[in-house]
Amino acid sequence: MHIVQQVLFVIIASIGIYLFAKNMKAIRRNILLGKKSDVDIPNQEKWRNLILNAFGQKKMFSNPLVAILHLFVYLGFIIINIEIIEIILDGISGQHRLFANLLGGLYPILINSFEILAFLVLVSVIVFLARRNFMKVKRLNQGELLSGWPRKDANYILYFEIVLMSLFLMMNAADSCLQDLSAAHYTHTGEFAISQFLKPLLSSLPETALIIIERFCWWAHIIGIFVFMNYLPYSKHLHVIMAFPNSYYANVLPQGKMNNMPEIQKEVLYMMQPELAPTSQDAAAPMNFGAKDIFDLSWKNLMDAYSCTECGRCSAACPANMTGKKLSPRKIMMSTRDRLEEVGKNIDKNKEFIADEKHLLHDYITAEELRACTTCNACVEACPVSISPLDIIIQLRRNLVMEESNAPQEWNMMFGNIENNMAPWKFSPEDRDAWTIS
């Protein structure tokens, strides 16, 4: 019987790991559809961002209560998964609590810490469900793309965590009852910190029933982990994985400093000094300015899209959004990810990208949204996982203005003044100091 369970476990684990690896490979391919990023980040800065923002969740602590609850869930995800290592090894070897004898007195301490974390995760997740569905926290219920699947997705993952933690605690409670009965294969580990309070529900059951409950919870828990793992690539909760590389590769340029386009600088130079312009033989092929579709963005922009938690902190901090403008930085990231996913499906179907007459600009993100941005960097500062919606906005807006000549009349007047007067105002440079003598 044990060999049948071992073979079944290996098959289920292999399928789960294979599907997860396949999905992550597709996501990696989609991210690499972006252009090479020119930002050179020192290694010490990369590690600093990773430790402070991904592991330390530094930006979350602008709201201490939410940060602490999120920290419980985060630690639960990271640390309780250590327990999965034992479950996997048990499943492969046919053993039960393989680490109990190896770790001795340390084992109960480890399991008790897992149980306390599991309980804290349960409490935190219930609070998060209440905030989303009963307290109706504004940033979690604003309109942009959040109705339908995104709202359901947020709830599904919380339900999933409740089920997984409950199965873990019930499994330990049944295991503890079996230890009291000195059942075969159930190693004595002592009372568990949290699941001992569930034992009265089970203590009157016969040994066979307890074994069925313990085995059911064991199998449901590990299969649930594999299902959860393969659900992540289709969910906004992919950020539990992507937050780490995204923080590592975060831009560390001073906020407000934009990347100039050397091509534009050269065009201005050639206009002022025509003799420096390349001849027709030497001239490079015309290039596109800014970004029109995901292929024009950098791979880091596309990684940002997959890392978005849809938490809405960026939109809540956005002054344009506060004043009723159509712009929402969260929607910018969600739309970028939607377009990227559509392109990925196109490639899966056709083995290469076949033009579909759609683009990120206009079809997913409108000119009205882009024009509302004040480039204040509030969204970048607010993001807990080092995403920059502003970088995407700037590149799309550059395409609007420089490729389509699509700008409001007020902007065109300003552009003309800058070109002719070297300032946004319609005053000759010679008259600029006239106010000082009036």
What pLDDT is attached to residue 102? Answer: 82
Domain housing 187: 63-237
At 35 the three-state DSSP class reads strand
Q: Is the pLDDT of residue 396 over 70?
A: yes
What DSSP character marks residue 269? H
Pick the residue with more confidence: 166 or 105? Answer: 166
pLDDT (average), residues 188-199: 88
pLDDT confidence bin for 23, thresholds 50/70/90: very high
DSSP string covering 355-394: --S--HHHHTB-HHHHHT-----HHHHH-TT---HHHHHH
Residue 371 domain flag: no
pLDDT of residue 306: 95
> Residue 198's pLDDT band (boundaries 50, 70, 90)?
very high
Amino acid letter for position 260: N
Please report how many Cα atoms fall inside a 13 Å half-sphere around the Cα of residue 405, on the Cβ side.
2
Q: Is residue 9 part of a domain?
A: no
**Residues paired with 142 in a beta bridge:** none
Helix (H) or strand (E) holding 432: none
369 within a domain of the structure (yes/no): no
Q: Three-class SS of residue 53?
A: helix
Query: Does residue 115 contact residue 191 with C-beta atoms inside 8 Å?
Result: no
Residue 168: per-residue pLDDT: 92
3-state DSSP call for residue 45?
helix
Residue 40: pLDDT band by 50, 70, 90 thresholds? low
> What's the whole-number mean pLDDT along residues 292-316?
93
Tell me, what's the pLDDT at 388?
A: 93
Closest of 305, 295, 306 to residue 399, by C-alpha: 295
Q: Is residue 159 part of a domain?
A: yes
Measuring CA to CA, which residue among 154, 83, 161 is closest to residue 121?
A: 161
The answer to whether position 379 is within a domain reads: no
pLDDT of 285 > 60? The answer is no
Look at residue 226 and tell me whether its pLDDT is greater than 70.
Answer: yes
| DSSP 8-state secondary structure symbol assigned to residue 51 | I
Q: pLDDT confidence of 185, banded at 50, 70, 90?
A: confident
> Does any domain span residue 125?
yes
* Residue type (1 letter), 37: S
Is the model more confident about 136 or about 435? 136
Per-residue pLDDT, averaged over 336-357, amounts to 93
Cα R_g (the chain), whole angstroms: 28
Report pLDDT for 1. Answer: 52
pLDDT for res 253: 72
Cα 284 to Cα 294: distance, rounded to the nearest angstrom: 23
User: Which pLDDT value is given to residue 231?
Assistant: 93
Mean pLDDT over residues 376-394, rounded?
A: 92
- Per the structure block, which two tokens stand in for 362? 């206009």
pLDDT in tens, 41-74: 667 788 888 888 888 788 887 778 888 888 888 8
Helix axes 2-31, 299-307, angle to 10 degrees: 130
Confidence of residue 183 (pLDDT cuts 50, 70, 90): confident
Distance CA 323, CA 330 (A): 16
Per-residue pLDDT tens over the stretch 100-128: 888 888 888 888 988 999 999 999 999 99
- Residue among 121, 141, 92 at smallest CA distance from 330: 141
Domain-located, residue 171: yes
Residue 78 located in a structural domain:
yes
Residue 170 has pLDDT above 90, yes or no: yes
Q: How many domains does the chain have?
A: 1
What's the pLDDT band for 186 if we cut at 50, 70, 90?
A: confident
Q: Computed from CA positions of residues 339, 344, 348, 351, in that sequence, does the dihedral angle turn out positive or negative?
A: positive
The tokens describing 37, both together, are: 């990023």
Q: Over range 212-240, report the average pLDDT.
A: 92
Q: What is the mean predicted confidence (pLDDT) over 324-339? A: 94
39 pLDDT above the threshold of 70: no
Q: 362-390: buried (b, 16+ CB within 10 Å) or exposed (e) per residue? A: eebbebebbbbbeeeebbbebbbbbbbbb
* Contact (Cβ atoms closer than 8 angstroms) between residue 53 and residue 45: no
- Report the sign of the C-alpha dihedral through residues 284, 289, 290, 295, in that order: negative
Write the CA distances from 224 to 13, 155, 172, 185, 228, integer angstroms. Answer: 11, 16, 16, 24, 6
pLDDT band at 83 (very low <50, low <70, confident <90, very high): confident
Q: What pLDDT score was predicted for residue 319?
A: 95
Q: 3-class DSSP state for residue 298?
A: strand
% the chain with pLDDT above 90: 43
Beta carbons of 344 and 28 less than 8 angstroms apart: no
pLDDT for the residue 292: 94
What is the distance between the alpha carbons of residues 218 and 403, in angstroms, rounded to a whole number?
59
- Model confidence at 343, pLDDT cuts 50, 70, 90, reads very high
Dist. CA 341–CA 253, nearest whole Å: 29
How many other CB atoms are found less than 10 A from the CB of residue 30? 22
Give, rounded to a whole angstrom, the gap between the first and last alpha carbons of the chain: 99
| Confidence (pLDDT) at 366 | 94
Question: What is the C-alpha to C-alpha distance for residues 86 and 43, in angstroms, rounded to an integer?
Answer: 34
Q: Residue 44: exposed, middle, or buried by beta-carbon count in 10 A (0-12, 13-18, 19+)?
A: exposed
Residues 354-381 pLDDT 10s: 988 899 999 999 999 999 999 999 999 9
